[in-house]
C-alpha cells in the first residue's frame, strides 16, 4: 500500500490561524507574506507596512501564529501556551519585536503578545520551554495592526538616531 501524507485537524487549524492573520493585515491596508522556511523556524508571516501616503516603509515585523481548537486557560481567563526555548531565544535576538498571535478556531477569538514587551515584564526562567499567557479579549484586529505599525516606526526612528539605544 502506498504511504501518503495525511492532512489532520491540526494542519487545518494552523492554516486557519495564519489566513486569519494575513486577512486582518490586508484589511489594515498592509501586506503579509509567509516565511520562506515556514513556521517550524519560529516565524510564520512577515508584515510589511506603508505610510499614510501609501509608500512602503523600511523593515518588517515577524509574526508567529499559534492555533488551537481551544487553548488552556488560567484563572483570570488568559490563554496559556508553551514554546520551545530555541524559538524564544530566536525571537529575542531579533531587532524588531516578534508578535505572537493566538487563534482559537472554535470561538474564532484571537489575541496577541509583543514578545519583547512580554520578556521585560515576566519571569521567563531557564527551562527548555517558556510558558506564555495571552489575553484573548485583546484581539488581533485592524486597530492592533495599526498600533504595531506605529510601534515599528518608533523603533525604526530610534535605530536611525542611535542604533545602540533600542
What the block records as the C-alpha cell of 161 is 538616531
Specify the pLDDT at position 40.
67
Question: Which of 162, 155, 165, 160 is closest to 60 using CA atoms?
Answer: 155
Q: What angle do CA 118, 142, 157 make, to 5 degrees?
A: 60
**What is the C-alpha to C-alpha distance for residues 72 and 9, in angstroms, rounded to an integer?**
18
Question: Which of 58, 62, 60, 59 is closest to 45 using CA atoms?
Answer: 62
Is residue 3 one of the residues assigned to a domain? no
- Cβ 135 vs Cβ 114: under 8 Å: no
3-class state of residue 7 by DSSP: coil
In total, how many domains does the chain have? Answer: 1
Is residue 13 one of the residues assigned to a domain? yes
Q: What CATH number did the domain enclosing 13 receive? A: 3.40.1350.10
Task: Give, for all 166 residues of the chain, the pLDDT tens digit.
Answer: 889 988 899 889 999 999 999 999 999 999 999 987 665 677 899 999 999 999 999 889 999 999 999 999 999 999 999 999 999 999 998 888 899 999 999 999 999 999 988 888 777 878 899 999 999 999 999 999 999 999 888 888 888 887 665 5
Specify the pLDDT at position 76.
93
Q: Which range marks the domain in which residue 100 is found?
A: 9-161
Is residue 145 one of the residues assigned to a domain? yes
Amino acid at each position: 500500500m502506498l504511504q501518503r501524507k495525511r492532512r489532520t485537524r491540526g494542519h487545518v487549524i494552523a492554516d486557519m490561524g495564519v489566513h486569519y492573520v494575513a486577512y486582518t493585515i490586508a484589511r489594515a491596508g498592509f501586506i503579509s507574506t509567509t516565511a520562506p522556511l515556514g513556521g517550524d523556524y519560529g516565524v510564520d508571516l512577515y508584515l510589511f507596512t506603508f505610510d499614510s501616503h501609501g509608500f512602503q516603509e523600511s523593515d518588517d515585523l515577524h509574526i508567529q501564529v499559534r492555533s488551537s481548537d481551544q487553548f488552556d486557560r488560567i484563572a483570570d481567563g488568559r490563554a496559556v501556551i508553551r514554546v520551545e526555548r530555541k524559538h524564544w531565544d530566536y525571537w529575542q535576538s531579533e531587532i524588531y519585536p516578534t508578535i505572537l498571535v493566538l487563534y482559537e478556531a472554535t470561538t474564532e477569538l484571537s489575541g496577541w503578545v509583543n514578545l519583547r514587551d512580554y520578556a521585560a515584564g515576566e519571569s521567563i526562567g531557564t527551562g527548555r520551554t517558556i510558558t506564555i499567557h495571552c489575553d484573548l479579549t485583546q484581539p488581533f484586529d485592524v486597530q492592533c495592526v495599526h498600533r504595531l505599525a506605529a510601534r515599528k516606526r518608533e523603533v525604526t526612528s530610534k535605530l536611525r538616531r542611535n542604533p545602540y539605544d533600542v
